[in-house]
Amino acid sequence: MATEKGYFAAGCFWGVEATFRRIDGVLDAVSGYAGGTTQNPTYEQVCSGTTGHTETVEVTYDPAKVSYDDLLSAFFDLHDPTQVDRQGPDIGTQYRSAIFTTSPAQAAAAEAAKARLDASGQFPRPIATQIAAAGPFWRAEEYHQRYEEKRAISGRGLRGWL
């Protein structure tokens, strides 16, 4: 089976990870950090806002079962993509909305999805989601992995906070 990866940042990674795990065809979702300059950053460093990283989820999926477009739809549905450097109660650049792409095809699909959503009029403000080529992804500390599962938190989705 051929697998692919997608990288999505939509605020605190706990709910994002849990949401992607529930999608048929997603084989794994891992909380971590992307988009910054510090090598192997810690949670405390990322939260300081000085590393440039955002809390990101690495999604490993089977493209025969779920398309990248479907993952993009889930991503845009689970948060408010018009928010700049925040989601719900979480404020700071580490909570920005971003898609980190691994190929020209992913970049084109992400840009097209963002443009469609912007043109749809679904949101009163422009879509603020950043789209950039994926750089290094740093796995977050173990206590962040499957956080909602470990603590039996119900997956209310991030929009429930808005």
Active-site positions read 12
Phi first, then psi: give them for residue 139, nearest 5 degrees: -65, 135
Q: Which of 27, 17, 8 is nearest to 113 (CA)?
A: 8
Q: How far is the C-alpha of 17 from the C-alpha of 23, rounded, in Å?
A: 11
Q: How far is the C-alpha of 53 from the C-alpha of 61, rounded, in Å?
A: 23
Distances (CA, A) of 121 to 44, 108, 114, 117: 37, 21, 12, 7
Q: Which of 82, 81, 72 is nearest to 112 (CA)?
A: 72
Helix axis angle, 104-120 to 68-77, nearest 10°: 40
